[in-house]
Structure 1
């Protein structure tokens, strides 16, 4: 019979990866691609442009938006990671320069979370026996980050680029296939908005119907406003 000291812990559930840095830019990219390109196309159609102009505008919006999203995501995630690494470097220098004070700081933090002073001191002392362990613990406890699992700027940029391009392609597809009417684009965009909202809600364990309806409402409102602006501008300059 396996003794309690050698028996491994049972795993009754598992968690999904919520720190990989891909879900937020991917979701944001799809939503932004759908809404922004559908709104752009609606504005151009509202201004009285023909199918060729709408197609060119849609392709330009897809390319410009995808590269803009990727660049923005890469820069923001990279900057955040660099700032985090700089703060970790400060923490490592402090541990090397004044280990007793840092150990006491960690003990006080554990006390604030409910440990007795004696136990908090023992835990902090054990963790400070190795510098490589100590600075990682301080990073997690004080900065709230895992230094071994920082989000990748390349993953964020790639996810954002592909997701935006996919979303922006949906309202453009009917015009690429030769449909001159905006009705097909509206139907496809509405379906894409609802489906994307439902999938995101499913991932976050919310109601797919509510998530889909919410995204459909927001996207439709944005496209309607842009169509109205395009119509007014088109009428004014015609």
Structure 2
């Protein structure tokens, strides 16, 4: 007995098992950077203190204090960085939203040019831009990329 799989069945199976990882940074990069920074700086701190011929207890306490200070510093830095990036993105979106409202034809032409730059034929790019521009939030999302 033969099993016949149609394109629709294959597409459905592919869609159900198909995922992509977020490779735009996310949490991994700062986590690796923070771990490496914390290990290297804490090791250097403890080595320096140990060179002063102090007790093991002092070295351990120094290491724990360095660990706590480093963790707080990294958390504060990451928070500030993310907040600054979010504020910048929100400001840029406000500018683009205003431009879409004030100059819709120019923004539609810009949108068509974006698609043409990606290899879409000019007439089709213009039609896509017209259709997307019907919904200002959809057009904003495309412009913001």
Fold in common (TM above 0.5): yes
1:137 aligns with 2:142: yes
For 2:32 and 2:70, the matched residues in 1 are separated by 15
1:68-116 Cα shifts (integer Å, max 9, x gaps): 1000000011101110110011000100111100000111121111111
1:36 aligns with 2:41: yes
Instruction: Select which of 63, 69, 72 maps to 1:64.
Output: 69
Question: Counterparts in 2 of 1:103-142, with a 5 A limit?
Answer: 103-140=108-145
What is the DSSP-based 3-state SS (H/G/I as helix, E as strand, rest coil) of the residue aligned with 2:20? coil
Partner of 1:84: 89
- Give the 3 Å change call, closer, same or farther, for CA 134–9 of structure 1 in structure 2: farther
For 1:3 and 1:51, the matched residues in 2 are separated by 68
For 2:24 and 2:52, the matched residues in 1 are separated by 43
What is the DSSP-based 3-state SS (H/G/I as helix, E as strand, rest coil) of the residue aligned with 1:17? coil
- Give the 3 Å change call, closer, same or farther, for CA 8–129 of structure 1 in structure 2: farther
For 1:99 and 1:116, the matched residues in 2 are separated by 21
- Give the 3 Å change call, closer, same or farther, for CA 3–113 of structure 1 in structure 2: closer
For 2:22 and 2:86, the matched residues in 1 are separated by 18
TM-score (norm 1): 0.53
Count of aligned pairs between the two proteins? 138
What are structure 2's unaligned runs of at least 5 residues?
1-5
Partner of 1:232: none
1:40-61 Cα shifts (integer Å, max 9, x gaps): 1111112322212212211110
1:14-43 Cα shifts (integer Å, max 9, x gaps): 211334731112111211121111111111
Partner of 2:3: none
TM-score (norm 2): 0.85
For 2:97 and 2:86, the matched residues in 1 are separated by 16
1:50 aligns with 2:55: yes
What is the DSSP-based 3-state SS (H/G/I as helix, E as strand, rest coil) of the residue aligned with 1:114? coil
